[in-house]
Structure 1
Amino acid sequence: MSDKVVTKPGRDTRWNRILYGFWRVVIGLTLRVYTRGTVEGRENLPDGAFVLAPVHRSYIDTPISTWVQVRRMRYLGKDSMWKWERLGKMFTAMGAIPVSRGSIDREALKRCIDVLTSGQPLVLFPEGERKDGPTVHPLMDGAAFLAAKAGVPLVPVGIAGSDRAMPRKAKFVFPRKVHVIVGEPFMVDTDGRGRASRAQLGAATERLRTEIQALYDRALDRIS
């Protein structure tokens, strides 16, 4: 068995869309029925490419994010998932993009920009790894950077209840209510050529944190 890491970003081919749609039904929609999942704010999603930026409280936030639209979206995943070539091809077909954690992965950033400039939406959890509690933690500026570089909107998202449905160290999903709210998109200020200053990225990231917090608070109210 090959231990080669597959690094191709994967095009939005018909086969990829079919495979993504299959797993979206098998995992995403099954999970939605099981958790009585509800979504509001779908009308806020832009046409074309965008960076979807949800709060992150559980492993199931990734399949939950597929609820917001039928169209294939792309995700970042640990590069170790691509250790075996056949599995790597499947993950890529389903929309995942390999990234090395713990360092600045410039190749992954390039793949993300390629995905966005080709018109595909990208899901990126700006808190990084899973966090705990009702307060949105300080965000990394990667979401703002990619949105600025590709010239696409940032879309904040609140997901409430996923940490109850699958808490840390849980081995299975509990039938707990999950509610998702999609916020209004906004653009990152740039110089017009996809270049944002450190101050502009910081301002966009702080705005994103504020809006995710407001959406998360509203979503928590819906399940309380």
Structure 2
Amino acid sequence: MSDTDHDLFRPGGTFWTRTLYKIGWLLVAFPLKLWTRTTVSGRENLPTDGPYIVCPNHRSYLDTPYAALVPGWGRMRYMGKHTMFKVARLRPLFYALGAFPVNRGKADREALKRAIQVLDAGEALVLFPEGERKSGPMVQPLFEGAMFVAAKANVPMVPVGIGGSERVMPKGKNFIYPRKVHIEIGPPVPPPTAPDGKRVPREAYAEQTERLHTEMQRVFDLAMERVGWSYPVTD
């Protein structure tokens, strides 16, 4: 990361990056909310005494701006595909809008370090534990990256179900259909802890990952019920 990129990534942001985020929210997230009649339930479950990790299911490219609606007006931070940052002139925009690069498909220690820095600065972070976009009604097995970051930063994970986004912009389509979306926010899942105060055992990671998976499935099911749509039954 160059010195310029480091200034733009700076946890907590600058006045310029925070302002640009608000502008981006008004130009992207808010119109999307109106176009798809998006409703949000469960904001009372969001922690008010510190940072947290938002963990939504992932069914559409639009899930990122939908995740921006979770806290309302508050700024969120995101991991973005490293290829997005290859165009130098666009990097400042992506950083200002809350994103920072990650190399998918391999352990990216630098991205995990940045994620922890964001949380340590008191900002909320969006991570999609399923990884890349999936399809269908079942939440797929979760990667442990979100759990690792949560344990290192000692912050809770908030399960979020985004129902209907796959209908709004299905894979292979470039049009945004005006179909209803609902976002359901569940109670936070605490991070895994070390009984001896030293090293978190793998069993604790696995247990909390399974708990997060169960909660993500529950809120996803609720969100799908609210939009009145279900996936076609296949043999």
Shorter-chain TM-score: what band?
over 0.9
Change (3 A) 1:154 1:166: same
In 1, distance between residues paired with 2:14 and 2:33?
Answer: 26
1:10 corresponding residue in structure 2: 10
Q: Alpha-carbon deviations, 1:65-92, whole Å to 9, x = none? A: 1111211110010111111223111101
Contact 1:6/1:88, CA 8 A, preserved across alignment: no
Q: Say yes or no: does 1:49 pair with 2:51.
A: yes
Q: Is there any run of 5+ residues in structure 1 with no aligned partner, and where?
A: none
Q: In the superposition, relative to structure 1, how do residues 15 and 135 fare at CA in structure 2: closer, same or farther (>3 Å)?
A: same
Q: How does 1:140-155 map to 2 (within 5 A)?
A: 140-155=143-158
43, 57, 62: which one aligns with 1:60: 62
Alpha-carbon contact 1:6-1:82 (below 8 Å) kept: no
TM (norm. structure 1) is 0.94
Among all aligned residue pairs of Structure 1 and Structure 2, give the percentage whose two residues are the same amino acid.
50
Judge conservation of contact 1:10–1:93 (CA < 8 Å) in 2.
no
TM-score with structure 2 length normalisation?
0.90
1:207 and 2:211 aligned = yes
CA contact (8 A) 1:149 1:194 kept: no
Aligned partner of 1:112 among 91, 115, 131:
115
Runs of 5+ in structure 2 lacking a partner?
A: 229-235
What is the letter of the counterpart of residue 10 of structure 1?
R
CA RMSD across the alignment:
1.6
Runs of 4+ that moved beyond 3 A = 4-7, 192-195
Q: Does 181-190 or 118-127 show the bigger shift?
A: 181-190
Quote how far apart the aligned CAs of 1:173 are.
Answer: 0.4
**2:161 alignment counterpart:** 158
From 84, 87, 92, the equivalent of 2:90 is 87
- For 1:21, the aligned partner's letter is K
What's the offset of the Cα at 1:7? 5.4
Q: CA 1:84–1:6 in structure 2 vs 1: closer, same or farther (change >3 Å)?
A: farther
Aligned length: 221
2:182 and 2:198 map into 1 onto residues whose CA distance is: 34
Q: Determine which of 186, 190, 205 is the counterpart of 1:187.
A: 190
